[in-house]
Amino acid sequence: MSPENSHGGILSDISRLNTSFDVFKYLRKTTERFRLRYFCVMALPADMTGSLSEHSIINNWPPETIKAYDRLGMISVSPIVARLIRHTTPVIWHIDEVLNECVSKDAAAAREIFYEQGFVRGVNFAVHDTSGRRGSVGFAGDREELGCEEVLKLSMISIHVYDHLSALLTESEVDPAPLSDRELECLRWTADGKTSSEISTILSLSEHTINHYLISATKKLDAVNRTQAVAKSIRKGWI
């Protein structure tokens, strides 16, 4: 195992991430390195209720996939989430096993949509931070099945990423952002490269409302434009 892929190398790389957006970029590169397409860090619900939008911390899922997942109520019926809540071992899955008629007919019917978007197979890890808060880090794509060594490396990355991200989010609470939750949410999606139109679809709000939130956030942060507002928020660890 090369130094950058060793336990010490992984821990060293992650410890240098200063903001949640740094973690986002690190996970995006990791996903690409393993020839996968998507990642998702989420807080595990205690009773399989809520939505992915509610429990997600950071992810790079397409907006339409998140909406489809929540429309199907997958949190409450997902065999992956159920396994993660009850067990600590990695959950290696294939979409044919996750979306089938045993879950719901609607979910089985939506399977082709997930195939088309590249959610064919993946792995999810049950993780926790130093405070005991439980979560999941998952990866998905349309490549061949992951090998044992690859699962082991992704497991080490997931453990350290979740703990480090939790610490960053806790630190950011000490210096609260002068922005509303909606303004921060719009800035986060802007940082991810989404347009106002795309954000309006994700949040089920009008494009006019999204622009209002972004203009308000820009003024509050004394920024010249939304790009500078995003940069200031990232440096502060608010997004």
User: Do 121 and 9 reside in the same domain of the chain?
Assistant: yes
- DSSP code, position 45: P
User: Do 223 and 129 reside in the same domain of the chain?
Assistant: no
Q: Which domain holds residue 208?
A: 181-236
pLDDT at residue 235 tops 80: no
User: Do 229 and 148 reside in the same domain of the chain?
Assistant: no
119 confidence band (pLDDT: 50, 70, 90): very high
For the chain, helix (H) and strand (E) counts, in that order, are 14, 5
Instruction: Among 151, 174, 197, give the residue marking a domain's end.
Output: 174
User: Do 71 and 143 reside in the same domain of the chain?
Assistant: yes
User: Do 65 and 161 reside in the same domain of the chain?
Assistant: yes
User: Do 87 and 187 reside in the same domain of the chain?
Assistant: no
User: Do 154 and 193 reside in the same domain of the chain?
Assistant: no
237 confidence band (pLDDT: 50, 70, 90): confident
User: Do 89 and 39 reside in the same domain of the chain?
Assistant: yes
User: Do 15 and 133 reside in the same domain of the chain?
Assistant: yes
Q: How many domains does the chain have?
A: 2
User: Do 194 and 83 reside in the same domain of the chain?
Assistant: no
Contacts of 78 (CB under 8 A, 6+ apart): 48, 98, 103
Q: So what's the pLDDT on residue 95?
A: 92
User: Do 161 and 58 reside in the same domain of the chain?
Assistant: yes
Tell me the mean pLDDT in the region 26-46: 95
97 confidence band (pLDDT: 50, 70, 90): confident
User: Do 9 and 90 reside in the same domain of the chain?
Assistant: yes
Reported as type and span, the H/E element at residue 183 is helix 181-191
- The answer to whether residues 211 and 195 touch, using CB atoms and an 8 Å cutoff, is no
**Which position has the higher pLDDT, 126 or 102?**
126
Percentage of residues in the chain with pLDDT exceeding 70?
93
**176 torsion bin: left (phi>0), alpha (psi -120 to 50), beta (else):** beta
183 confidence band (pLDDT: 50, 70, 90): very high
